[in-house]
Amino acid sequence: MIIGGGPAGLEAAYNIAINGYKVTILEKDNEIGGNIKKWVKLFPDFGDAAEIRKAFADKVNKGNIEIQTGVEISELYSENEKWFAKNGNNVIYSADAALLATGFEAFDARRKEELGYGIYDNVITSVDFEEMYKTGKILTAQGTVPKRIAFLNCVGSRDEKVGNHYCSRVCCINAVKQATEFKELVPDAEAYCFYMDMRMAGQFYEELYRKSQEKYNVNYIRGRISEAAATFDKRIQIKSEDTLTGLPMKMTVDILVLMVGIESSASTTELSRQNGINGEYGFAKSLGLYISDNLTKKAGLFLAGSCKRPLTLPETVADSRAASVQILNYLKLN
Q: Are strands 2-3 and 23-26 parallel, antiparallel or unpaired?
A: parallel
Q: Which is nearer to ligand SF4, 212 or 324 (CB)?
A: 212
Q: Which is nearer to ligand SF4, 261 or 300 (CB)?
A: 261
Closest approach, Cβ 196 to ligand SF4, in A, equals 6
Among 53, 111, 158, 183, binds ligand SF4 (CB under 6 A): 158
Among 15, 102, 125, 153, binds ligand SF4 (CB under 6 A): 153
By CB under 6 A, residue 169 contacts ligand SF4:
yes
Q: Which is nearer to ligand SF4, 24 or 174 (CB)?
A: 174
Interacting residues with ligand SF4 between 275 and 304 (CB under 6 A): none
By CB under 6 A, residue 125 contacts ligand SF4:
no
Q: Are strands 225-230 and 92-95 parallel, antiparallel or unpaired?
A: unpaired
By CB under 6 A, residue 261 contacts ligand SF4:
yes
Runs of H (alpha helix) within 45-189: 49-59, 126-133, 171-185
By CB under 6 A, residue 126 contacts ligand SF4:
no
By CB under 6 A, residue 257 contacts ligand SF4:
no
Q: Which helix (H) or strand (E) holds 239?
A: strand 236-242
Q: Which is nearer to ligand SF4, 38 or 321 (CB)?
A: 38
By CB under 6 A, residue 112 contacts ligand SF4:
no
Q: Which is nearer to ligand SF4, 175 or 301 (CB)?
A: 175
By CB under 6 A, residue 44 contacts ligand SF4:
no
Among 125, 168, 268, 269, binds ligand SF4 (CB under 6 A): 168
CB 268 within 8 Å of CB 35? no
Choices 94-102, 143-151, 191-199, 282-290; region in contact with ligand SF4 by CB under 6 A: 191-199
- C-alpha distance from residue 88 to each of 27, 28, 73, 75 (Å): 13, 11, 7, 9
- C-alpha distance from residue 26 to each of 9, 85, 123 (Å): 9, 9, 35
Among 35, 125, 157, 294, binds ligand SF4 (CB under 6 A): 157
Distance in angstroms (rounded) separating the CA atoms of residues 2 and 303: 10
Q: Which is nearer to ligand SF4, 124 or 271 (CB)?
A: 124
CB 204 within 8 Å of CB 45? yes
Question: Mind spelling out the 3-state secondary structure of 106-137?
Answer: ECCHHHCHHHCCCCCCCEEEHHHHHHHHCCCC
Burial class of residue 203 (count of CB atoms within 10 Å of its CB; 0-12, 13-18, 19+): exposed
Choices 62-70, 137-145, 165-173, 239-247; region in contact with ligand SF4 by CB under 6 A: 165-173
Choose among 224, 219, 221, 230: nearest CA to 253.
230
Distance in angstroms (rounded) separating the CA atoms of residues 29 and 9: 13
By CB under 6 A, residue 199 contacts ligand SF4:
yes
Choose among 154, 129, 143, 148: nearest CA to 41.
129
Interacting residues with ligand SF4 between 68 and 97 (CB under 6 A): none
298 CA to centre of own chain: 26
Q: Which is nearer to ligand SF4, 83 or 205 (CB)?
A: 205
Among 259, 311, 313, 317, binds ligand SF4 (CB under 6 A): 259
By CB under 6 A, residue 53 contacts ligand SF4:
no
Q: Which residues contact 149 (CB under 8 A, 6 or more apart)?
A: 138, 179, 182, 189, 190, 191, 192, 253, 254, 255, 256, 257
Q: Which is nearer to ligand SF4, 155 or 284 (CB)?
A: 155
Closest approach, Cβ 124 to ligand SF4, in A, equals 16
Distance in angstroms (rounded) separating the CA atoms of residues 8 and 4: 8
Residues that bind ligand SF4 (CB under 6 A): 153-154, 157-158, 167-172, 196-197, 199, 259, 261
